[in-house]
Amino acid sequence: MEAPSGYQKKGYLHEPFRLFHLRDVGVEEMEYHYHEFDKIVIFLSGTASYMIEGREYFLEPWDVLLVRHHLIHKPVIDPDDPYERVVIYLDPGFLRSGSTEQTDLSACFRLARQRQFALMRPDEGQRQVLEQLLEELERAVSDRGFGADLLAQSCFLRLLIQLNRDMGHDHTDRDMAASVHDPKIERALSYINDNLSGALSVDVLAGQAYTSRYHFMRRFKQLTGFPVHQYISQKRLLAAASMLRRGVSAQEACARCGFQDYSAFHRAFRREFGMTPRQMQP
pLDDT for the residue numbered 5: 39
If you write DSSP's letter for every residue of 91-123 in order, what string do you get? -HHHHHHH--SS--TTHHHHHHHHHT--EE---
Domains of the chain by residue range: 8-174, 182-280
pLDDT for the residue numbered 6: 44
C-alpha span between 58 and 32 (Å, rounded): 17
Contact between 118 and 52 (Cβ < 8 Å): yes
Contacts of 200 (CB under 8 A, 6+ apart): 191, 192, 232, 258
Chain segment 159-200, per-residue pLDDT in tens: 999 999 999 999 999 999 999 999 999 899 989 989 998 889
pLDDT for the residue numbered 113: 92
Q: For the purposes of burial, counting CB atoms within 10 Å of the CB of 210, is it exposed (0-12), middle (13-18) or buried (19 or more)?
A: exposed
pLDDT for the residue numbered 13: 76
pLDDT for the residue numbered 33: 87
What letter would DSSP give residue 87?
E
pLDDT for the residue numbered 276: 93
pLDDT for the residue numbered 32: 86
pLDDT for the residue numbered 29: 79
pLDDT for the residue numbered 7: 46
Q: Which residues of the chain have pLDDT under 70?
A: 1-12
Instruction: State whether residue 9 is helix, strand or coil.
Output: strand
In this structure, which topology does domain 182-280 adopt according to CATH? Arc Repressor Mutant, subunit A (1.10.10)
CB atoms within 10 A of CB 74: 19
C-alpha span between 225 and 71 (Å, rounded): 13
Q: Mean pLDDT over all residues of the chain?
A: 91
CATH architecture assignment, domain 8-174: Sandwich (2.60)
